[in-house]
Amino acid sequence: MSHEMESNGSIEYVALGGEGSSVNLEKFQKVPIIPLIFLIFYEVSGGPFGVEDTVRAAGPLLALIGFLVFPFIWSVPEALITAEMGTMFPENGGYVVWVSSALGPYWGFQLGWMKWLSGVIDNALYPVLFLDYLKSAIPALESGFPRIIAVLILTLALTYMNYRGLTIVGWIAIFLGIFSLLPFMVMGVIAVPRLKPRRWIMVDLKNVNWGLYLNTLFWNLNYWDSISTLAGEVDDPEKTLPRALFYAVLLVVFGYLFPLLIGSGAVPVNPELWSDGYFSEVARLIGGVWLRIWVQAASALSNMGMFMAEMSSDSFQLLGMAERGMLPEFFAKRSSFGTPLIGILFSASGVILLSWLSFQEIVAAENFLYCFGMLMELVAFVKLRMKFPTLNRPYKVPVGSKGAILMCLVPSLLIFVVLAFTTFKVFVISISAVMVGLVLRPCLKYVEHKRWLEFSVNSDLPDIQTTLY
């Protein structure tokens, strides 16, 4: 199969898997819009579990304002950039390809390393958090050998679901998403007679923990770009991806605001009690033990949804990087289900290795790596807008070059604010991880030069560098 590049500098993508392709991908079902919405939902959110710290840090009023305003400052710009860049480059390299096209393949690789490592660190949390919800019912899972075996079994089971195909993961995400949000809808119906709106305006500006407040908001409203590494698996991505991102933004914001309104309005507010898992206690106070059990089950299963969505993104990112010649070509090999087997195994191995570590500093390090990577994406977006304004963009954010700069200005400032709260220990860990990536790229180029491993570029993908430059 050949591809054509238009004379005006646009890039025309062709469907992979046709005549001359090494793998026939047409037999694998593409992901339609509804499963894609819920995959994005789990990449970003997974439900209101974990937003309780905003109330503890700043009280109900600032928590509600935060989840109303922060999406416009951060989530909407990131989702718009993902829609534009993801439809420009609808392939599984995602943001790696964006940065490579604007800043060169060296920096594209650095972004890929930081994003993949960040994703694996993130995913290592979910099996452990899942077991934390079960240990009250099964005390043996709290520590020791039974917990180790349970983490391994859970990781392997969820990894197998990813191996069986992205479409399966998407439909499971729909089921888990509905199951996770439904108890809060029921809670809302029961709580209506108890709502006292005056509780929503409680605030004590003298005792606001701004670091915890901002980090919690940032943590719960980022990762919109992760879906870009699945763009090559999406049905009609030029139309489907922007629509899915739009509906996912609405779903995520509603999934945070509605439970916060119900929880803080129907129950006397003591901010000190609002920590991770407090929504289950709110459910008990409003509906009884049966509703608390439902919320706990929803929270536990939500971790499964987030694990599968994150692993899909991580593994397909490695496949996309291999198709661009950044990784050995065995990362581009697909299973009989169309999934990147080696990428899945690498991601699962990273999850298992990190599952035994203490997470407080590591999660902060993940945030640091994510921020570092996002700065590169924002620079790539602006550079491509300014240097190649006529490049074909199936979806284009309705702003000019100056508007693109202004749109990225506030998220960039926010990133520096979040980084300013980084402790020295987290800074050292994060910079060490970045240094590994700086060395890893030339090492892989040396391996390629010596022909110790095979590297190749998928001939069905456009030559971006030739087209742009």
Q: What is the mean pLDDT of the chain?
A: 88
Give per-residue pLDDT as tens, 117-149.
988 888 888 887 777 767 766 788 777 788 888
pLDDT grade, residue 422 (50/70/90)?
Answer: confident
Whole-number Cα distances in Å, 462 to 6, 23, 102: 11, 17, 15
pLDDT grade, residue 20 (50/70/90)?
Answer: very low
Three-class HEC string of the chain: CCCCECCCCCECCCCCCCCCCCCCCCCCCCECHHHHHHHHHHHHCCCCCCCHHHHHHHHHHHHHHHHHHHHHHHHHHHHHHHHHHHHHCCCCCCHHHHHHHHHCHHHHHHHHHHHHHHHHHHHHHHHHHHHHHHCCCCHHHHCHHHHHHHHHHHHHHHHHHHHCCHHHHHHHHHHHHHHHHHHHHHHHHHHHHHCCHHHHHCCCHHHCCHHHHHHHHHHHCCCHHHHHHHHHHECCHHHHHHHHHHHHHHHHHHHHHHHHHHHHHHCCCCHHHCCCCHHHHHHHHHHCHHHHHHHHHHHHHHHHHHHHHHHHHHHHHHHHHHHECCCCHHHHCCCCCCCCHHHHHHHHHHHHHHCCCCHHHHHHHHHHHHHHHHHHHHHHHHHHHHHCCCCCCCCCCCCCHHHHHHHHHHHHHHHHHHHHCCCHHHHHHHHHHHHHHHHHHHHHHHHHHHCCCCCCECCCCCCHHHHHC
pLDDT at residue 136, rounded to an integer:
63
pLDDT at residue 361, rounded to an integer:
59
Give per-residue pLDDT as tens, 254-278.
999 999 999 999 999 999 999 888 9
pLDDT at residue 357, rounded to an integer:
62
Whether 17 shows a pLDDT value over 50: the answer reads no
Q: 368 vs 291, which has greater pLDDT?
A: 291
pLDDT grade, residue 356 (50/70/90)?
Answer: low
**How large is the average pLDDT for residues 415-440?**
88
Model's pTM, two decimal places? 0.90
CATH placement of domain 26-468: 1.20.1740.10
The domain locations on the chain are 26-468
